[in-house]
């Protein structure tokens, strides 16, 4: 199924490029700004000003990422489910799914800021960082499952959770893949030259799309199982 997901992403180049364009341009500009004005993020010397900048830049990053996911992922859904996808426009997709991706992003941000506030010699630092990476690894599959049902209402969330539970082994595999990817990218971010960071952003964006599409196919497989069960019952 992973091979099919990769082929689907490469075949639907427009939503992929949309996601990469939004995220790569924004995060590259942020990296350049922070590289040229390093005092912006130096909380030891700049105090409140640096803290305020980091908080504001992080919130904007969450907003930009939520916009990218709302638009690009809905375009993937529209292409994969054509002609059955009921959300016809980017505006409607944005209204429906931006709050969800914004909520996920804020939850991840607050979790990470809590970890960043710990002393560097804290024994809780490493396990909490691993939990944060695991948490992040689940967000795209969960979001894809909710988007599959086209709304973020209570009934759709129940259906999404039911799908996630029934297809847990498959979701575990893609979440584990996402965790390993997050761990590698997080490790590389602090060990490679600044100029290579945009490449990591592109790699991360590409695989986020693959993970989304893979999760979508899990939902389709679950739907087909239910439909088959109904057909057998009718027979």
Domain-by-domain residue ranges, the chain? 2-234
What are the pLDDT digits (tens) for 80-128?
988 777 888 899 999 999 999 999 999 999 999 889 888 888 888 899 9
Residue 106 near residue 62, CB atoms below 8 Å: yes
| Rounded distance between C-alpha atoms, residue 90 and residue 32, angstroms | 30
| 232: pLDDT strictly greater than 60 | no
Q: If we measure between CA atoms, which residue out of 231, 209, 195 comes closest to residue 32?
A: 195
| Rounded distance between C-alpha atoms, residue 72 and residue 60, angstroms | 18
Q: What is the model's pLDDT at position 71?
A: 95
| Rounded distance between C-alpha atoms, residue 222 and residue 172, angstroms | 15
| Rounded distance between C-alpha atoms, residue 157 and residue 154, angstroms | 5
User: What's the pLDDT band for 235 if we cut at 50, 70, 90?
Assistant: very low
* Cis amide bond preceding 218, omega within 30: no
């Amino acid at each position: 199924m992973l091979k099919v997901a990769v082929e689907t992403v490469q075949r639907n180049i427009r939503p992929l490029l949309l996601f990469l364009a939004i995220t790569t341009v924004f995060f590259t500009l942020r990296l350049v700004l922070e590289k040229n004005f390093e005092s912006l993020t130096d909380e030891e010397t700049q105090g409140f000003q640096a803290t305020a900048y980091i908080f504001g830049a992080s919130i904007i990053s969450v907003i930009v990422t939520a916009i990218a996911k709302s638009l690009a992922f809905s375009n993937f859904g529209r292409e994969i489910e054509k002609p059955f996808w009921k959300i016809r426009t980017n505006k409607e997709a944005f209204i429906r799914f931006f709050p969800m991706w914004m909520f996920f992003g804020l939850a991840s941000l607050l979790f990470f800021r809590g970890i960043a506030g710990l002393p560097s010699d804290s024994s809780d630092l490493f396990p909490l960082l691993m939990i944060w990476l695991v948490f992040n690894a689940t967000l795209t599959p969960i979001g894809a499952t909710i988007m599959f049902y086209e709304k973020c209402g209570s009934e759709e969330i129940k259906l999404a959770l039911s799908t996630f539970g029934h297809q847990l082994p498959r979701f575990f595999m893609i979440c584990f893949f996402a965790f390993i990817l997050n761990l590698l990218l997080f490790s590389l971010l602090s060990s490679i030259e600044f100029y290579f960071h945009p490449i990591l952003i592109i790699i991360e964006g590409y695989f986020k799309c693959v993970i989304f599409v893979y999760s979508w196919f899990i939902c389709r497989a679950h739907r087909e199982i239910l439909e088959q069960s109904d057909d057998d019952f009718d027979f």
